[in-house]
Amino acid sequence: MLTIDRIEKTFFPGTVNERRALGGLSLRLDEGDFVTVIGSNGAGKSTLLNAISGRYTVDSGSIEIDGRRVNRLREFQRAKYIGRVFQDPMAGTAPDLTIEQNLALAERRGRSRGLGLALSRTLRDRFREELTSLELGLEHRLTAKVGLLSGGQRQALSLLMAGFTRPRILLLDEHTAALDPQRAALVTELTDRIVAQGSLTTLMVTHNMEQALRLGNRLIMMHEGDIVFEASAAEKRQLTVPRLLEEFAKIKGAQLDDRALLA
Ligand SMILES: Nc1ncnc2c1ncn2[C@@H]1O[C@H](COP(=O)(O)OP(=O)(O)OP(=O)(O)O)[C@@H](O)[C@H]1O
């Protein structure tokens, strides 16, 4: 359902600032795959997600979603296929809108009409029920502005919204990294639940190896703009954090990532 074929991306080519971020990377995700992505700093993980979402265009290679080549589609044109939760909790929600307005926008996204924010009682009841499942007490704060929520609450809400929109592909970019350990654990659990409930095809970048092993059915490790290690579902079940660190160490010249070591 997502087919990436030999994509390349170089920033500032031909200048002293030239950076080759993606060096001919290929990757295929089948419907319902949940792939965790790890790798050293600057490996190209965010650039890969940005290439899929259309934030950056690639220099060569192709990206296909459901068999349709999307290389030339701009970010807003790909938005109907793609849900995204960023590291920055402020990025995924509209702070000046209320919780129910944010949810209503997510719920209606992808539909051709009706971007108005009027809410039916049925929809409001559904929001309340979904928010209750987060166990953050947000079901009592439907009309509170999202800007007033904590980072963890906002990330949880962003995930819920991503689940509502039922994107063809969900991109998670270190979405628990800015949270304290307790909230990160909660959002990790929630990720697992929302992805499973919606059978969402997902790519999740993380520096937390334990998280990368626990979530998802496949794992890839990136280095210098390409995939250098890949574990299938069966292989992933056998993997441990020490084994992953060994794989990291095997990569010539790779620096072990501090954050990864702490995980
Ligand atoms: N907008 C940009 N302009 C110039 N160079 C960029 C840009 N975005 C990324 N790069 C460069 O591309 C390379 C890959 O960066 P990227 O952010 O994709 O790595 P990453 O694996 O996500 O790293 P990290 O784990 O540190 O977030 C790096 O050398 C980076 O400096």
For ligand 1, the distance from its centroid to the CA atom of residue 22, given in whole angstroms, is: 9
Q: What residue has token string 């609450």?
A: 153
Which residues have CB under 8 Å from 258's CB, separation 6+?
none
pLDDT of 257: 52
Q: What is the mean pLDDT of the chain?
A: 89
Instruction: Spell out which residues line ligand 1, taking CB within 6 angstroms.
Output: 11, 19, 21, 39, 41-47
Residue nearest to atom 25 of ligand 1 (CA): 41
Domains of the chain, by residue range, sit at: 2-93+151-262
What is this model's ipTM? 0.97
Q: What CATH number labels 2-93+151-262?
A: 3.40.50.300
pLDDT digits (tens, 9 = 90+) for 164-222: 888 999 999 999 998 888 888 988 999 999 999 889 999 999 999 999 999 999 999 99
pLDDT over 60 (residue 113): no
* Dist CA 216 CA 230 (whole Å): 13
Give the pLDDT band of residue 263 (cuts 50, 70, 90): very low
pLDDT over 60 (residue 259): no
* Dist CA 83 CA 167 (whole Å): 5
Rounded to two decimals, the pTM is 0.89
Higher pLDDT, 88 or 256: 88
